Amino acid sequence: MQSLCRVAQSGALLTCFSLLCVANGVSALVRSGLSNYTFPDNFMFGVATAAFQIEGGWNAGGLLKANITPVVTLYHWDLPTPLMDLGGWANPKIIDYFEDYARVAFRLFGDVVKYWTTINEIHIHCYHGYGNDYFVPAVKFEGVAEYLCSHYMLLGHARVYHLYDKKFKPYQKGIIGITLDSFFAEPKDEKNSDDVAAAERYLQMRLGQYAHPIYSKEGNYPDLVRERINNLSISQGFSRSRLPVFTSQEVEMLRGSSDFFGLNHYTSILASSSLMEDGWAVPSLDHDTGVKGEQDPKWPIPGAPWLAVHPPGFRKLLNWITKQYGTKVPIIVTENGMSDSGSLNDYERVSYYNRYLEQLLLAIHEDGCNVAGYIAWTLMDDFEWKDGYSVKFGLFHVDYNSPKRTRMPKLSAINYREIVTTKRINFDYIKIPSYKYNQLL
């Protein structure tokens, strides 16, 4: 059996050794609540970490002896300050620097790394770091900088893809892709045509904008995205569109530039059309999208306020991607998970993984979606950007009061271990009383 471990940036390459305690062994629970479907024999499971967010085993090994396959992300938002001072991803020169950096990584690690991801979450990084000031580099030039950032990130990805494809893949025999992120958008009222249009507009603006240039047959930005930003730019008095334009050569360079569709997904929204909401700037990606996103009060929120649990949205998103781009390129779910307060008996996280993975099984077996792998976020409780250590996503609990940062598996780690080893979901894990936790270790 092959396990998969996704690590962000080459500096965290060796953190995967900790996955050993999840991948080995099977619990002795009575399996009366098993899923009807099983995961395919060649389906890959893994756990993700990120170099900036988690302490790593940079000076330790054991990645490969345990038959754990590393998946390395070249860029997960951590840019050297001098490059930020030059404008970061809003400066087209960054494409050359990114290609230089990738060449070094391929030369150093390409003999052992066979799965590469170029960039993690273009949408989130550009929206929060360039359009807003929630993440570094905190440019906050809304309606302009986020589009410059994503435009050059896409071109940087394509340049690195072709570098690997032509110079390294022939003898290193690996694959390379990109990771995009998206919530799913449900129409607030399925009988309201404006809400239905708003949900589709959200998905095109927040996912299609980055996926369409790579995975569609036509290439380039989606027509809806191009027309909407062009028209709003003109009405706002701009002399040209705030969304940059690809040359015909760049369209061809981008189209087909990924061996898999990396997808990060956590939650869904209820979408309705809106001209303006509190907090929106004009211009901005929010205003350009024109969608009010809400959470259904019936959806549980176990931790971070933005993450409401709605498993059916996962299946619907996988189907939306399949309908848009077909089944030729496999989908690898590179992040999926839930935050809470950090309990070892994390029943809500167990339920989250079981129910979301059930939707993934349905997407594979009943809908024909080509999903090749699933990677849980995250291995252990981590530093969640501006939320710091206040939210807990880990399968392992980290005692931050201990000098050794002692780690303990949560019930969700044991549950996930069984899913990985049996290729089935055991829904009875949510029924386990807390006093039996130690018997399962």
What does the alpha-carbon distance between residue 159 and residue 188 come to, in Å, rounded to a whole number?
Answer: 40
Bridge partners, residue 49, by sequence: 7
Contacts of residue 212, defined as CB under 8 A and 6 or more positions apart, other chains included, come to: 204, 218, 219, 220, 221, 222, 225, 324
Rounded Cα distance, 150 and 134, in Å: 16
Give the Cα separation of 84 and 102 in Å (integer): 18
Number of C-beta neighbours around residue 33 at 10 A? 14
Count other Cβ atoms within 10 Å, centred on residue 302.
17
* Count of CB atoms situated within 10 Å of the CB of 371: 23
> Which residue among 186, 250, 335, 418 is the active-site one?
335
3-state SS, residue 115: strand
Cis peptide bond prior to 378, omega within 30° of 0: yes
First to last CA, the chain: 21
| Whether 99 is catalytic | no
| Residue 178 bridge partners (DSSP) | 261
Helix (H, G, I), strand (E, B) or coil at 110: coil
User: CA-CA distance, 334 to 327, in Å (whole number)?
Assistant: 17
Q: Which residues are part of the catalytic machinery?
A: 335
